[in-house]
Structure formats: C-alpha cells, structure tokens
Amino acid sequence: MGRVALVTGGSRGIGEAISKKLQADGMTVAATYAGNDEAAAKFTEATGIKTYKWNVGDYDESKAGIAQVEADLGPIDVVVANAGITRDAPFHKMTPQQWKEVIDTNLTGVFNTVHPVWPGMRERKFGRVIVISSINGQKGQFGQVNYAATKAGDLGIVKSLAQEGARAGITANAVCPGYIATEMVMAIPEEVRQKIIAGIPAGRLGEPEEIAKCVSFLAGDDAGFINGSTISANGAQFFV
Ligand code: NDP
C-alpha cells in the first residue's frame, strides 16, 4: 500500500504487534518508545521497523520526533496512539504524581501524538487515527481512577476528531482491549491475574496480535466509513 504509519509505544507489547502487522500490510512503520527497554527497541529495529525514542507526554519532543520521522520516511498517513502506562492505587492512596504521570502519558500523549500530524492529513485529504483505549475506560476499575479517566478521555478524543476530520478524509477510531498478555498484565500479581481470567467468559487473556488485527482493519481503505467508533476486543467481558 506504501503508506507510512507511526505507532507510539510500538517497541513491545501490543504496540509491537501493531507495528509488525502494519508492516506486513505493506506500510513503512516507525515505532516509538520511552527508553525503559532499549533491548525491546533494538529487537524491533532488527525487523526493519525504524524506532525512535521520545516521551509522548512532552509536546515539543513529540513534535520534533514526528518531524524527524517524516523527514526519514515521508508524510505520516496512519497514526496509532498506543503508548500507555499504569500507576495503580486505590483513590484514597493515589498521589498527585501518580495521577499526573498517567494523564501526561495516556491522555496528553494522545494530543501530543495526533496534533503534529493532523495538519498534514488535512492537506493530503487522508488520515487514519487509531487510539488504543481500554475496557477500563469503558467500565472503570478499582485502583485505576487515573488510568480509567485517560482511557475514557481517549473515546471523547476520537469521537470529536472523527467529526472534525470526516470531510477531510480522516477517520479517528478507538480500540478497547480487554486483558491482553503483555508485560503490563503479567506484572499483575499471579493470584489477582487468575481472578481476572476467571471473570473473562473466553477463559483466557487476549493476544497482542488480536488487537493488531483490529488496528490493521481500521487503518485500511475498507474502513473509510467507520469513524468515531470503538472496537471492543475483550473476550465477551461485558460491562454495565
Ligand atoms: P507495555 O507496557 O507492554 O508497552 C508500553 C509501550 O509504551 C512501550 O513501548 C513503552 O516504551 C511505551 N511508552 C510508555 N510510556 C511512554 C512514554 N511516556 N513515551 C513514549 N513511549 C512510552 O504496554 P501494553 O502493550 O500492555 O499496552 C499498550 C497500550 O494498550 C496502552 O495504552 C495500554 O493502556 C493499552 N491497553 C493494554 C491492555 C493490556 O491488557 N495489556 C488492556 C487495555 C489497554 P518503553 O519500552 O521504553 O517503556
């Protein structure tokens, strides 16, 4: 297809699977990372996906990084705002720092990632914006007031961007994964994780590749009339 895709947090976990899938779809892919896991970034780079290090929570770094990606690879057609973190604590113990780190990365990070590429997409009359939200943004989660707020906010972002971009050939959609087998989930204590799995009707965690396939569909030409939508991929873990 010859398109250029940017995947934030594309060096490992769900983002790595997305980077690989978009590459397999024929796109030239840039994957970003924060710098916590250089080995994962090197491994991704070895597969022909160019990696870039910047903090998505910093607007100036994001803007400069995106300018470098476009200088190296060409204009970005597909942007996947995937980078995300957790800093869990029950609300009465949550610190302002835990709140701020998650807001900066998961919510402001989406603004910082999409805002610099938006004018180019409008000019070229094509763009695909895909934000990786979460089931916990749809239903809330004990210990995740900060995280759930950002992931619910992501849904507001894509619904608004969809309305602003529709006439310019840009779609903006969200994917809400349930629990996926990545380091983020494997870091949950084993006993708690087993309880979580017991609550998933599918009886298992999802695989990163299953989220990547949703992104691949939304990034493709066939999804041009899907705009402002949310794909939930959670093994039938319904919520009220
Ligand atoms: P991982 O922890 O496995 O990977 C996170 C990626 O994001 C890494 O590449 C990391 O870089 C990067 N990153 C983190 N903070 C920043 C930052 N400030 N600036 C730039 N890059 C950053 O995460 P997952 O693959 O599990 O999650 C990916 C997305 O999916 C997140 O948004 C998460 O909230 C969401 N999600 C995950 C679920 C799951 O079950 N795993 C469920 C629902 C949603 P580095 O390697 O340098 O740290």
CA distances from 234 to 140, 174, 218 (A): 14, 14, 17
- pLDDT for res 238: 79
For the Cβ of 173 lying below 6 angstroms from any atom of ligand 1, the answer is: no
Percentage of the chain surpassing pLDDT 70? 99
Residue 205 CA, closest ligand 1 atom number: 40
* Short-list 156, 177, 152, 227, CA closest to 18: 177
End-to-end CA distance of the chain: 40
**213-224 per-position pLDDT tens digit:** 999 999 999 999
Return d(Cα 34, Cα 176) in angstroms, integer.
22
Residue spans of the domains in the chain: they are 4-229
Name the pLDDT band for 184 (thresholds 50, 70, 90): confident
For the Cβ of 82 lying below 6 angstroms from any atom of ligand 1, the answer is: yes
Question: What is the DSSP-derived secondary structure letter of residue 108?
Answer: I
* Short-list 86, 107, 81, CA closest to 15: 81
For the Cβ of 36 lying below 6 angstroms from any atom of ligand 1, the answer is: yes
Asked if 207 and 142 count as a contact pair (C-beta separation under 8 A), the reply is: no
For the Cβ of 105 lying below 6 angstroms from any atom of ligand 1, the answer is: yes
Q: Which tokens belong to 178?
A: 């349930």
Asked if 173 and 202 count as a contact pair (C-beta separation under 8 A), the reply is: no
Q: How far is the CA of 209 from the centre of ligand 1 (A)?
A: 15
Q: Is domain 4-229 annotated with CATH 3.40.50.720? A: yes
**145-163 per-position pLDDT tens digit:** 999 999 999 999 999 999 9
Burial class (CB within 10 angstroms; exposed 0-12, middle 13-18, buried 19+) of 123: exposed
For the Cβ of 12 lying below 6 angstroms from any atom of ligand 1, the answer is: yes
- pLDDT for res 210: 98
Q: What pTM does this model have?
A: 0.98
Asked if 30 and 227 count as a contact pair (C-beta separation under 8 A), the reply is: no
- pLDDT for res 81: 99
**28-80 per-position pLDDT tens digit:** 999 999 999 999 999 999 999 999 999 999 999 999 999 999 999 999 999 99
Test site for ligand 1: of 141, 184, 185, 193, most ligand atoms within 8 A of the Cβ: 184
Question: What is the DSSP-derived secondary structure letter of residue 92?
Answer: G
From atom 44 of ligand 1, which residue's Cα is the shortest distance away? Answer: 134
Q: What are the start-end ranges of the H helices in the chain?
A: 13-24, 38-45, 59-73, 96-102, 109-114, 118-124, 135-139, 145-165, 183-186, 190-198, 208-219
Q: How far is the CA of 123 from the centre of ligand 1 (A)?
A: 30
Give CA angle at 55 (187, 156), nearest 5°.
80
Q: How far is the CA of 120 from the centre of ligand 1 (A)?
A: 26
- pLDDT for res 139: 95
CA distances from 60 to 29, 47, 57 (A): 22, 28, 9
